[in-house]
Amino acid sequence: MDFEALLAFTMVVKHKSFSAAAVQLSYAQSTVSHRIAVLERAVGQRLLVRSAAGAYPTRAGAALLPFACHLLETLEQARIEVGGSMCPHRGGPGTSIDRPRSPGGPGGRQGRARTMSGRASTTVLPDTVRE
């Protein structure tokens, strides 16, 4: 799986918008759409539904979300360990996304974006799952 596609996916879920995710990531909106399409092909499932109210994860997307965040968090920890950071564009320098820990996902509690100091800032988990 492509880590950039996983990052785009988590940001779309967080912002409920392809455009807002693109702005946050400093990507073109078409790049975010392409990365989501690549990820959907890789997993063989539709992961997001676009509607007038925003972009929401399907059941497959909601199931993938905790694992995507866990993979990104692990990559971030590895980069920190070797002296770099992968996520300067995710909420500013020195931020990372903790994996969502929902009752059905790894760990059992809701994930939050956190600064490196450990303070919670914004919820990552979706409010709604759409089909």
The residue among 10 and 94 whose pLDDT is bigger is 10
Quick one: DSSP state of residue 55?
A: E
Give me the pLDDT at residue 113, please.
40
Question: Do residues 48 and 32 make contact, with C-beta atoms less than 8 angstroms apart?
Answer: no
Domains by residue range for the chain, with CATH: 3-123 (1.10.10.10)
Whole-model pTM?
0.65
Mean pLDDT of the chain: 76
User: Longest C-alpha distance within the chain, in Å?
Assistant: 43
pLDDT over threshold 70, residue 19: yes
pLDDT tens figures, 51-71: 999 999 999 999 999 999 999
Give me the pLDDT at residue 102, please.
39
The residue among 126 and 75 whose pLDDT is bigger is 75
